[in-house]
Amino acid sequence: MQEFLVEITTTIPEGTSQDEVDRRRAAEAVRAGELSTTGNLARLWRPVGESRSIGVWRAADEKELREKVLGTLPLRPWMTLTVTPLEPHPNDPGRATDGTE
């Protein structure tokens, strides 16, 4: 699987009910857990004081990532994504232990 750095900004549409927001956020947490189990979601962070997230995601290619992984997120219609394909760096200290050699 290829790795991708994905930056996600979620903007709730004006006029959306709090019930809808809560329902989608709960479903998002469940789906993120499922994608973690399948290995598609490797890591996820939220920068301090910001409402965006940054994560390392995995998929066969960018098309699969966008359509079959990120496209299944309940909050996806409200998201703006920046996807950056990654490749191993020869000086990565985790390279020898993550099985990608």
101 in a domain, yes or no? no
Counting residues of the chain whose pLDDT is more than 90, the rounded percentage is 88
Domain region containing 77: 2-86
26 in a domain, yes or no? yes
Please count the structural domains in the chain: 1
Q: Environment class of residue 78 by beta-carbon count within 10 Å: exposed (0-12), middle (13-18) or buried (19+)? A: middle
Residue identified by tokens 């490749």 is: 87
pLDDT digits over 60-95, tens only? 999 999 999 999 999 999 999 999 999 999 998 887
CA distances in angstroms from 13 to 17, 42, 46, 65, 75, listed in the order given: 9, 28, 21, 24, 11
CATH number at residue 60: 3.30.70.1060
Check if the beta carbon of residue 90 is closer than 8 Å to that of residue 33: no
pTM of the model: 0.89
55 in a domain, yes or no? yes
Neighbours of 26 (CB within 10 A): 11
91 in a domain, yes or no? no
